[in-house]
Amino acid sequence: MASRANHLVLLGCGLLCAAALLCTPSVAQAPVAGIATPGPAGVSNYPIASDARLAGDARQTRFILDLDKAVQFRAFALADPYRVIVDLPQVNFQLPAGVGVSGRGLVKAFRYGLVMPGGSRIVFDLTGPARIAKSYVLEAANGQPPRLVLELEEVDRTAFVQSLAPENRPELRPAIAEANAAVARVDTPAAPPSPPDKRPVVVIDPGHGGVDNGTQAGGGDIMEKNLVLGFGLALRDRIEKSGKYRVVMTRTDDTFIPLGDRVKIARNESAALFVSIHADALRRGEGDAQGATIYTLSDKASDSEAERLADTENKSDAIGGVSLADEPTEVADILIDLVQRETKTFSNRFARTLMGEMKNTVRMHKHPLKSAGFRVLKAPDVPSVLVELGYVSNKGDLEHLVSENWRTRTVGSMAQAIDAFLAKRLATAGPGK
């Protein structure tokens, strides 16, 4: 019911303004909820929009909104579908019923409503690409109220795309355009444009999956791919509990994901951190080793065991049938090189932080910090580490790896390290990365 009520308002069919609707308890459950419902006194302080009309033709179209006081606003266009958005301070819409349902000229239809506390929005669906030729507010004059005026002009798609802000250009940010399209789609007008999630992204990468089982124990009953998936999901849940970070998993089920795709996920998300989870094994005759090890990327392996391990982990693609030719060639660029060096510093810092936390709760390898050429750690701009939780070939480690209790403790110390690292990172780098 609640969303239906808003739906009507945003279609411009409602007789009541969005702010007034928000006073009713049912609408407080709508997606625009979470808003302190203004009392009648509060409502009366907002600018009132009393009428709206369109004029012109398919070449040039003008929109006029009558207000009782001048407001500041921002108008911008979006592609796919073609739209123009006008963001205003909170406005008490008292427009005639049915306004905006049908359009004129370049405007197919428009809808309006409250999108957040203190903010209203008008969305124009266009018949085709158009440019905002002019947009301004006129003060009251000659018996006319203050008016917001928008003048649209037909353009071709190329000109339209060029007129967009970079973040709105479809070829630059398909994901953003898609999200905006979803927000403003006619059939879901009640959905307010959710504010972009600015929380730092942590990518958790449970190793292997699908045809690639990883290491095995117990005659094949215990597989690395399952152990690390369970661990990764538990780590995700723990990190998400704080609400401070957004967690993206490279896989949440038994699916094979090529190594390059795991790196791509981290890069596409502009992740603040990438943590790959594995469990090692030594073959019979290779001796015994135990404890957790934290790996960072290096051209030169820190020792022969690290080199052996990187070779093994890098075989994942071969097992899954991914040709190395599919992998993007490494870009030899001085800028990339600089970024890479900085990323390396942060990867090493996180590895040390992680060791500092883990050693209190988890049995660590006798040389717990190592480096080698792991393909999955190769994002030039995302600090990345690979954690081998232990050795499934070691009896004691295996007991830990399958223990719920051990997992909870280890997940806890890893989450602690992630928080410590990112808190420091954000304090120095500011929000956004």
Given a contact cutoff of 8 angstroms between Cβ atoms, the answer to whether 275 and 205 are in contact is yes
Residue (105 or 214) nearer to Zn ion, CB? 214
Taking CB under 5 A as the binding criterion, the range among 212-220, 296-304, 341-349, 394-402 that sits at the site for Zn ion is 212-220
Q: Quick check: 232 binds Zn ion (CB under 5 A)? A: no
Burial of 419 by CB count in 10 Å (0-12 exposed, 13-18 middle, 19+ buried)? Answer: middle
Question: To the nearest whole angstrom, how small is the minimum distance from the Cβ of residue 313 to Zn ion?
Answer: 5
**What is the maximum alpha-carbon separation in the chain?**
96
Return d(Cα 232, Cα 292) in angstroms, integer.
15
Residue owning tokens 């409502």: 43
* Ramachandran angles phi, psi of 133, nearest 5°: -70, -40
Burial of 331 by CB count in 10 Å (0-12 exposed, 13-18 middle, 19+ buried)? Answer: exposed
Return d(Cα 276, Cα 339) in angstroms, integer.
21
Question: To the nearest whole angstrom, how small is the minimum distance from the Cβ of residue 278 to Zn ion?
Answer: 3
Residue nearest Zn ion (C-beta atom):
278
Q: Which of 207, 291, 368, 380 binds Zn ion (CB under 5 A)?
A: 207
Question: To the nearest whole angstrom, how small is the minimum distance from the Cβ of residue 228 to Zn ion?
Answer: 7
Given a contact cutoff of 8 angstroms between Cβ atoms, the answer to whether 47 and 91 are in contact is yes
Strand partners, 126: 107
Distance spanning both ends of the chain, measured CA to CA: 40
Residue (129 or 214) nearer to Zn ion, CB? 214
Residue (278 or 400) nearer to Zn ion, CB? 278
Residue (214 or 291) nearer to Zn ion, CB? 214
Question: To the nearest whole angstrom, how small is the minimum distance from the Cβ of residue 353 to Zn ion?
Answer: 22
Residue (47 or 207) nearer to Zn ion, CB? 207
Given a contact cutoff of 8 angstroms between Cβ atoms, the answer to whether 21 and 14 are in contact is yes
Tokens encoding 84: 């123009």
Residue (44 or 255) nearer to Zn ion, CB? 255
Taking CB under 5 A as the binding criterion, the range among 203-211, 240-248, 302-310, 424-432 that sits at the site for Zn ion is 203-211
Q: Quick check: 278 binds Zn ion (CB under 5 A)? A: yes
Running DSSP on this structure, what letter comes out for residue 144? B
Residue (8 or 203) nearer to Zn ion, CB? 203
Query: What number of chain residues touch Zn ion (CB under 5 A)?
Result: 3
Question: To the nearest whole angstrom, how small is the minimum distance from the Cβ of residue 279 to Zn ion?
Answer: 6
Q: Which of 113, 214, 258, 380 binds Zn ion (CB under 5 A)?
A: 214
> Residue 77: which residues within 8 A CB-CB, separation 6 or more?
83, 84, 85, 130, 131, 132, 160, 163, 164, 168
Residue (164 or 414) nearer to Zn ion, CB? 414
Residue owning tokens 């223990």: 403
Taking CB under 5 A as the binding criterion, the range among 205-213, 251-259, 318-326, 336-344 that sits at the site for Zn ion is 205-213
Return d(Cα 223, Cα 242) in angstroms, integer.
30
Question: To the nearest whole angstrom, how small is the minimum distance from the Cβ of residue 227 to Zn ion?
Answer: 10
Q: Quick check: 209 binds Zn ion (CB under 5 A)? A: no
Taking CB under 5 A as the binding criterion, the range among 121-129, 206-214, 236-244, 400-408 that sits at the site for Zn ion is 206-214
Interface residues with Zn ion (CB under 5 A)?
A: 207, 214, 278
